[in-house]
Structure 1
Amino acid sequence: MARGKKKASPQTRAVNKEKSPGPSPTVHRTNNVQFDPSTTDNGSDYYLPPSGKKLKPSPSAGALLHAERAEITLLKSPITTIHYFIMELIWLFIDGLRFLARHHVSVVVALASLGASLYLYQLPGSHQPFVKFAEKHILWWLYWIGLGVLSSIGLGSGLHTFLIYLGPHIARVTLAAYECNSLNFPEPPYPDDVTCPESHLPGEAAVSLWAIISKVRVESLMWGVGTALGELPPYFVARSARLSGEAPDDEDYKEFLALQAANNGDKPKDVSFFDRGKIMVENIVKRTGFFGILLFASIPNPLFDFAGITCGHFLIPFRTFFGATVIGKAVIKMHIQMFCVILAFSEHHIDNLISKITLIPHIGPVIQGPLKEFFAKQKQNLHRKPGSEAHVDKSILADVVSYIVIAMIFFFLLSIVTSLAQAYHKRISDAKKKKNL
């Protein structure tokens, strides 16, 4: 009989089971990563916490589109800019036709009124003197309103049209008033040109500061109304953004939101002195309303754009904003500016200035002679007969002023091309966003 293994007793099997290490536990693999607690920060030398170096925040899609839009200029991308400019003009033309089609009744009424007005304008009769009188004054008012609007939007370069149009007009009337000792300039050619009257009317009042202000008040008020109209775009941009809840692609409004965040204490150390002035304007307008707007509209300051954005963002009523702006800019501010120009160009002040200009080192004696000659010729031209041509000598100063005006208009047109091209880029970008939603 073959010898076999001795069968272990139940007690022996139990003891061996306790001594044996047993089989290895089954390892379950999952997709979740679990870190060994022994590798956490426990003071050991081999643990290196993440430093975060070379990690840059990823810009949003809107920031990328904004950066791409900023590159669309005539200097950086002339072909793309011109292409987008033409496409934007086509889109605006088509959109205008759609608008007219939606309001066809109003279009018919407007065309009928225009046709009747043109018929009465051409119809001979006793009403023609009144028509010519109204035409002359309305066109004159619209001219100054347009210059005021261009002044508010900066004419593309930020140079005030008051300095190159209204200010010289007031100065010319002031010089003529003191030279002619009268304000009854012949019409025509006034207001296009200024000449002295051939004879003085009996009982004519003496020339005074307030009489000159009254002579140029209408065009000054119209220019002030134009500047008030030019302040409406920032107001409506901020108002529509607040009502819709969407931030528009407007740099001034984005700057306003950044300053508002800084005013709330997010980054108080990053606010400059000029930005603190903008925050002050915002706080005063929010607290005082009409009178705060009136205050900032009445004094020349570069911060009034933020007053308009503030009023639109906080939904201040339109009549409050526009009413205070018109009163401040067209009434109070314009009378201050008229007073300053008339006072500066009074005859005795001009003579005193020319005599003291020699005190300027080096250039004073050089420019005194040309200035005397310039004002002498201006006075001489005032005494010519109405309708005769003025004797004009070309001067370096006149050429420089002409070149400055031409350059301003040129850059203004370039800014229009760039703005329309960037507007078309934003239009197609928004269309792509809606399509991908």
Structure 2
Amino acid sequence: MAENGTDCDLRRLGMSKEQHNGNFTEPSSPSEQKRKEREERQNIVLWRKPLITLQYFFLETLINLKEWTIKLWHRRSIVASLLLLLAVLTSAYYVEGAHQQGPHIASVTLAAYECNSVDFPEPPYPDQIICPDVEGVEGSISLWTIISKVRLEACMWGAGTAIGELPPYFMARAARLSGAEPDDEEYQEFEEMLEHAEAAQDFASRAKLAIQNLVQRVGFFGILACASIPNPLFDLAGITCGHFLVPFWTFFGATLIGKAIIKMHIQKLFVIITFSKHIVEQMVSLIGAVPTVGPSLQKPFQEYLEAQRMKLHHKVDGAPQGENWLSWMFEKLVIVMVCYFILSIINSMAQSYSKRLQQRMHSEEKTK
């Protein structure tokens, strides 16, 4: 079924070229051809071409299921071992004990100011924070006290993000050593950026070039600087290091220090300040001072914060009944984010199938 759909789609692409033969011009270079093909794939989205997008998504799903099934069957012993390990870990998770899900930084901050203490059980935490029997002195909680309390969890969080930066590095390094062209959009854009570095005019291109130059020229400290601040373009730093064969421990060491120590403390401090009791109370007061709509906005915020404090104390019975519009808004925001995530998966898989068609057309043209 997937093969029949592929043949039809190939004929459709061929007919599209023939229909526009009068205005069609061959790309001047392979990079220009790749750019045009990438633009064609990016137009395959649900809000522009819903039928084609759904068809490509369905065919790509069938192809992936077939490929995964074959790979898993060839590695059935490893799959069986992983399933057994997963079953053991799942059973251990649901066995009664101290290994329950711990509080995140915001909940620890709220509980610390509410209890005037951070004498919660050491990790692993219980499922909810219970204030100690003897409360601390009012105002005895400082930012440094809360930072020390959540340092271990925050370091693990930062180390996890550093490990997540390794795939772009290994992909680019393997491509450079083997001389092969990787099947990755970001790496292709990186190579095009290097080819047309002098012609870069827009802000995004200049920002990418600045990161590439910083990492290439400064080395360890350049990587450290890029990893230590919130940087959506840090994947490009990993690709740059892999492409220019930067040693692994130079890249990973700087990334680990930057993300697990420096950036982690910056983000942790921001979260703690945002959820600090006195700062939150000042924010609520400022909201109430807004003319006309202030009091109506202030009340749901107060109810929401009070409900969170009661949950931290296990005072669920005394929590306000029903949900306010703020909770309703958060729930709808989560639903919108999930829907957007699903749509992005559909579009991405449809574009992957379109790329398969383009590659198959190129291979058939070479054999002619």
Question: Does TM-score exceed 0.5, indicating one fold?
Answer: yes
Structure 1 match to 2:62 = 90
TM-score where L is the length of structure 2: 0.74
The equivalent of 1:81 in structure 2 is 53
Q: 1:317 aligns with which of 240, 243, 247?
A: 247
Instruction: State the match for 1:182 in structure 2.
Output: 117
Q: Equivalent residue of 1:183, what SS?
A: coil
In structure 2, stretches of 5+ residues that fail to align are: 1-21
Task: Return the alpha-carbon distance in structure 1 between the equivalents of residues 258 and 338 of structure 2.
Answer: 28
> Are 1:425 and 2:354 matched, yes or no?
yes
Q: How does 1:280-429 map to 2 (within 5 A)?
A: 280-358=210-288, 360=290, 363-385=293-315, 390-429=319-358
Aligned 8 A contact 2:45 2:53 in 1: yes
2:311–2:319 Cα contact (<8 Å) kept: yes
Tell me by how many angstroms 1:413 deviates. Answer: 1.4
| Root-mean-square deviation over aligned CA pairs | 3.9
Residue aligning to 1:278:
208
Contact 2:310 2:319 in 1 (8 A): no
Q: Distance in 1 between matches of 2:86 and 2:42?
A: 46
**Larger displacement relative to structure 2 (80-89 or 170-179):** 80-89
| Alignment deviations for residues 301-335 of structure 1 (CA, whole Å, 9 cap, x no partner) | 23323212212222223443233223221222112
The residue type equivalent to 2:285 in the other structure is: S
Q: Is the 8 Å Cα contact of residues 238 and 309 (structure 1) preserved in structure 2?
A: yes
Q: Alignment identity in percent?
A: 46
Q: Is the contact between residue 262 and residue 271 of structure 1 (CA under 8 Å) also seen in structure 2?
A: no
Q: Describe the shift of the 1:181–1:402 C-alpha distance in structure 2 as closer, same or farther (beyond 3 A).
A: same
Out of 309-318 and 230-239, give the one that drifted further: 230-239
Tell me how far apart the structure 2 counterparts of residues 380 and 130 of structure 1 sit (CA, whole Å): 26
**Which AA in structure 1 matches 2:224?**
L
The separation in 1 between residues aligned to 2:56 and 2:125, in whole angstroms, is: 45
- Please identify the structure whose Cα radius of gyration is greater: 1
Structure 2 SS opposite 1:301: coil
User: Secondary structure of 2:240's match?
Assistant: helix
Aligned counterparts, 1:27-66, within 5 A: 58-59=26-27, 62=34, 65-66=37-38
1:217 corresponds in structure 2 to: 151
Q: Distance in 2 between matches of 1:354 and 1:390?
A: 19
Find the residue that maps to 1:235 and give its secondary structure.
Answer: helix
Matched residues in 2 for 1:129 and 1:257: separation? 46
The 8 Å contact of residues 381 and 391 in structure 1, kept in 2 or not, is answered as no
Change (3 A) 1:262 1:114: closer
Q: CA deviation at 1:277?
A: 2.9
Secondary structure at the residue paired with 1:75? Answer: coil
**CA deviation string 1:257-315 (max 9, x = no partner):** 3443444x3x2xx5234433322211110122222112111111233232122122222
Distance 1:354 1:109, change over 3 A: closer
Aligned residues of 2:120 and 2:130 also touching (Cα < 8 A):
yes
Counterpart residue number, 2:11: none
Determine the structure 2 residue equivalent to 1:111: 80
Change beyond 3 A, Cα 1:112–1:380: closer
- TM-superposed CA distance for 1:412, in Å, is 0.9
Given residue 212 of structure 1, which amino acid in structure 2 is its aligned partner? I
Amino acid at match of 2:334: V
Checking the alignment, whether the CA contact within 8 Å between 2:288 and 2:298 is kept in structure 1 is yes
Q: Which is further off, 294-303 or 71-80?
A: 71-80
Residue in 1 that maps onto 2:17: none
Q: Partner of 2:190 in structure 1?
A: 256
CA apart distance, 1:187: 9.8
Amino acid at match of 1:72: I
- How far the C-alpha of 1:179 sits from its partner, in A, is 1.0
Alignment correspondent of 1:170? 105
CA contact (8 A) 2:310 2:318 kept: no
Tell me how far 1:402 sits from its aligned partner: 1.5
Shift of 1:180: 1.3
How far apart in 2 are the matches of 1:253 and 1:362? 53
The 3 A distance-change label for structure 1 pair 350 and 229 is: same
SS in 2 for 1:257: helix
Q: Secondary structure at the match of 1:299?
A: coil
Alpha-carbon spacing, 1:181–1:63, altered in 2? closer, same or farther (3 Å): closer
Aligned to 1:72, which of 39, 44, 48? Answer: 44
Unaligned runs of 5+ in 1: 1-53, 123-127, 142-165
CA–CA distance in structure 2, aligned partners of residues 117 and 55 of structure 1:
57
Any conservation in 2 of the 1:195–1:381 contact (CA below 8 Å)? no
Could you tell me how far apart the structure 2 residues matched to 1:400 and 1:248 are?
A: 43
Q: TM-score, normalised by structure 1?
A: 0.64
Cα separation, partners in 2 of 1:116 and 1:243, compared to 1, 3 Å: closer
